[in-house]
Amino acid sequence: MSTENVVMSIIDQHGLRKSGKRFVGPCPECGGSAKSDKFQIRLDGGFKCYACSFRGDILTWLTKKEGLSCPDAHDKANKECRMNTTCAVAETCRHGNTINSAPKKQFRRKKKTALPYSSTPAGREKIAQLPTINPSFPPAEWVAYFTALAEKANSTLLANQEQMDYLASRGIDSAAVSRFRLGWLNHQYRVPKKDICLPIDDGKDKLWVPGDLLIPIMKKNSLHRIRIRRTPESRAKFIQDLKYCWIKGSGNLPLAIPAMHDRPRGAVIVEAELDGFAIAAAHHDVVVVAIGTVAAGIDQVMHTYLAGLPVILVALDAEQQAVDALQAWKNEFPTAKFWPTPSGKDAGEYYQQGGDLKEWIEAGLPPKLPSSASQQVPVQDRPFPPARKLNGGEGEEGLQRVDGMGEVTEVELTTGKTIYLVNEKNHVWDEMSAKGMAVFTRYEMERLKAATSTMNDEERIAAAAAVIEAKEMFGGYISRGVADISAQAVAKKIDHYGYQLEEYPPAEPPG
């Protein structure tokens, strides 16, 4: 592992929250309430509690809190020992000066799972990787309680002209407030944890829900997550550093707003949900994903979905961290590119300064083709050689024309299914996919062949049937290798796609 990976696991394990460049919360050593911020840790592993003597670096944490030996702590944090001259056990430690050290065979190093490295003249340079989220979902009791609260809060917000004016100034009008179900809490709440199926794990039997702007994140028309944005006035009275508060018990998937059309022209990645709402309200042809913080990631299903889009505009807040995070997105998605706002630090601020959100996003997308020809995306495809009859016929034949769709090879399988082959991903591929036809390019077929190369005949047939079904139901383009293409895995992803992308009602068509 790396130091940053270890720190992120500490943050998740102890429920720490971001505050500037640090993460704060109750001290893992001396305790404290969930709203405490006396303990702080940085991504480089440095930590300190302001109420007790617990402090140090990542090696201190690993040796004191996880009980690792000094060498094992160095291995896990992927750090070299710099204490050879002062360490009391340097002479016998495998990271020490090797004089009188124990035989190396007594030590069996575990296989490291650190981030990959590239060799540069300056030395070893870490290659950024995008974190992967393992999805979790809220209890049914939690969903029922907060759904009712969110509905009440939505009505309250629509009647609060001051807050409606504030949201409108950031590009979120009343139609967007209704569509995305934003709400307003006039006061804080203390909710009995037993009523919402939460454990009493911090000595308190009630969950604190602060007042102010309620931001719901929906999944398939069901409440998944709640974030409260506290006003400066509320923060001045209590916990000044706590601007955003995730409600405990929420799920962990990011906000994802689908495009109004079936074939998105791209995706926009932002941090704050309010920025995501403003962009989705301004431009209907893109998928919008709000990841919460610059260092956050996405789940595997969303990863698969984004990989099929022609462009991913990474519009994280305009700061150095966003530039650093861009490398992780580009490593995962070749189509990702940095797309900061022309002015202001985020989309909401840019809108406040008179910026046109739709124009800004449109400038980063591929040209919009007429309705008769969907988006043509430059991809890795190469032309098919003259096609052969794959159902037992002899010789070779050229591409055929199918239902007026242009040059296409039609292949009837022994299972009774029909698939279609085209040279490349172009308007023909798009139009056939839109009609629910299982159409593949040469590149896609190569990806499938590679993914099923280790399967037996029975498994290969089942996997192929599942992929064809997914093509007929959802379309989609295979732009990367497929790690798990079993029939069960594809069926699970099909179900999850529906869950992933049906969060909000579609926007009303312009005009």
Sheet holding 266-270, edge to edge: 255-257, 286-290, 266-270, 312-314, 336-338
| Mean pLDDT, contiguous 10-residue spans, the chain (511 residues) | 82 85 87 82 90 87 85 79 54 49 46 44 54 89 94 95 95 93 94 91 86 91 91 90 91 89 86 94 92 86 87 81 79 89 90 93 81 39 37 38 62 78 82 82 79 77 79 67 49 41 47 43
Is the separation of the CB atoms in 432 and 454 below 8 Å?
no
Cα–Cα dist 255/179, whole Å: 14
Instruction: Output the pTM of the full model.
Output: 0.54
pLDDT of 50: 85
Spell out the residues 6+ positions from residue 204 whose beta carbon is closer than 8 angstroms to its own: 33, 34, 193
Concatenated DSSP letters of 104-165 = GGG--PPPP-PPPEEEETTEEEEPP---EE------HHHHHHHHHHHHHHHHHHHT-HHHHH
Q: Does domain 140-246 have CATH number 3.90.980?
A: yes
Instruction: Output the pLDDT for position 270.
Output: 93
Tell me what pLDDT residue 450 has: 74
List all residues 6 or more positions away from 194 whose beta carbon is below 8 Å from its beta carbon.
Answer: 200, 205
* pLDDT in the model for residue 104: 43
Handedness of CA 87, 93, 96, 102 (dihedral sign): positive
The domain segmentation of the chain, as residue ranges, is 3-116, 140-246, 259-362, 400-501
CATH of 259-362, one of 1.25.40.10, 1.20.1330.10, 3.40.190.80, 3.40.1360.10: 3.40.1360.10
Q: Are strands 39-42 and 266-270 parallel, antiparallel or unpaired?
A: unpaired
Identify the burial level of 145 via C-beta atoms within 10 angstroms of its C-beta, where 0-12 means exposed, 13-18 middle and 19 or more buried.
buried
Q: Look at residue 394 in the predicted model and tell me its pLDDT.
A: 34
CA dihedral over 302, 306, 307, 308, signed as positive or negative: positive
CATH architecture of 3-116: Alpha-Beta Complex (3.90)
> Which amino acid makes up residue 82?
R
Angle between helices 487-501 and 457-474 (to 10 degrees): 20
State residue 207's pLDDT score.
93
Predicted pLDDT of residue 380:
37
Helix spans in 211-272 (H): 232-237
State residue 202's pLDDT score: 72
Nearest Cα neighbor of 37 from 46, 27, 52 is: 27
CA neighbours closer than 13 Å in the CB half-sphere of residue 136: 9
